[in-house]
Amino acid sequence: MLRYTLRRLLLVLPTLLGILTINFFMVQTAPGGPVEQFIATLEGSGSAFMERVGTAGPDVAASAMQFEGEGLYSGARGLNPKTLEAVRKLYGFDKPILTRYVDMLRDFLCFDFGKSLFKADRVSDLLINSLPVSISIGVWSTLLIYMVSIPLGIARAVRRGSTFDFATGAVLVTASAIPGFLFAVLLIVLFAGGSYWQIFPLRGLHSLGYESMPFWQQALDYMHHMVLPVISMTIGGFAALTMLTRNSFLDELSKQYVETARSKGLSERSVLYGHVFRNAMLIVIAGLPGTFVRMFFAGSLLIETIFSLNGLGLLGFEAAMQRDYPVMFATLYIFTLIGLVTSIIGDLTMTKVDPRIDFAGRSKA
């Protein structure tokens, strides 16, 4: 198993290389890049800029006219070729695309993501500031969904056709139909001082003075801030996993080995958790990497915006809208790496749940 794990870890590098290569050439050759955005911003704000400086006094107006005359700004008439070349050099587009590609790979191997094109920060600093938010939302949301859905799915499978089965199914379907962002607004109105109770904080990961608190108080403050975002993220995630768990257990309960175990006098609990559980949980565990990555990035964008949490989801979305290529590729790099590592962890977990699974032997065959 160790050899298989090492082989999977080695495959991370070519997989990362392939994903980054495809996305690099797709994004770099697409229209509407950072240079075009910068030019459009200058040309669109030229007349308004000159009107503003014209009312600010003769000294400011003269400086603006000199700024324009030197070719640094040309308003609606277009940019001076020297200025255009300076803008291209500023964003690194004066180099051939293959050179930019090789430079990116070399820097990414050292986890050097460069500097943001539109923010006065290094990309690594932006990622470090955003990671705690995304990790908090992704980890706690995934854990909560699995901790609730698996026992609930088992209970529904055991009580198939009962009032409990129908009632919980109706509640889960209703919950899954509620958009997460809409439920977040409802929670804010009810519990964050919107119109009723001020029980939970509205924004951020921690309160003012967090650094000076003792550790136990920091933990409580952190959990206090995480309650509403995590509940908002998980409200629609229970239905699918609960149904998957229920159907998986029902499929296993109908097999012959279950009747054989019962005929030997084993208790229902021993049959359920000693025999059925391992087989039924394989398909549930297989979906863990996808669930975590989805919670980590795709599902957290609106939640981060509503609760003023500067996570990777919001950072990546803003970078895509601004064509901030260093931030875009860095977030893609991080998400891909996390997805590949969680996939390996999911495989290892499956072997622990069911020792009959032998990925190493299967890969040799």
Whole-structure pTM over 0.75, yes or no? Answer: no
pLDDT of residue 51: 44
Rg (alpha carbons) of the chain, rounded to whole number: 27
For the beta carbon of residue 313, count every other beta carbon within 10 angstroms.
27
> Do 234 and 144 meet the contact criterion of CB atoms below 8 Å apart?
yes
DSSP states along 72-129: S--GGG---HHHHHHHHHHTTTTS-HHHHHHHHHHHHHTT---B-SSSSSBHHHHHHH
Amino acid at 289: P
The torsion defined by the Cα of 88, 91, 93 and 98, in degrees rounded to 10, comes to 170
User: Packing angle between helix 215-234 and helix 123-158, nearest 10 degrees?
Assistant: 60
For the beta carbon of residue 96, count every other beta carbon within 10 angstroms.
9
User: In Å, what is the CA distance from 8 to each residue of 47, 351, 356?
Assistant: 58, 15, 19
Gap between the Cα atoms of 318 and 229, Å rounded: 20
- The stretch 183-204 carries a mean pLDDT of 81
- The stretch 68-87 carries a mean pLDDT of 56
> Do 326 and 116 meet the contact criterion of CB atoms below 8 Å apart?
yes
pLDDT tens readout for residues 270-324: 888 877 887 887 777 777 776 777 766 655 677 888 888 888 878 888 888 888 8
Split at pLDDT 50, 70, 90, the class of 31 is: confident
pLDDT of residue 104: 87
Gap between the Cα atoms of 350 and 102, Å rounded: 38
Task: Decide which of 164 and 274 is more confident.
Answer: 164
- Token representation of residue 184: 């977040």
Model confidence at 4: pLDDT above 80: no
User: What are the chain's domains?
Assistant: 32-110 (no CATH), 124-364 (1.10.3720.10)
3-class DSSP state of 194: coil
Query: Percent of the chain having pLDDT more than 70?
Result: 81
Amino acid at 123: V
Sign of the CA dihedral with 111 first, then 326, 295, and 128 last: positive
pLDDT of residue 355: 66
User: Packing angle between helix 97-109 and helix 2-29, nearest 10 degrees?
Assistant: 150
Split at pLDDT 50, 70, 90, the class of 209 is: confident
DSSP secondary structure code for residue 346 in this structure: H
Amino acid at 119: K
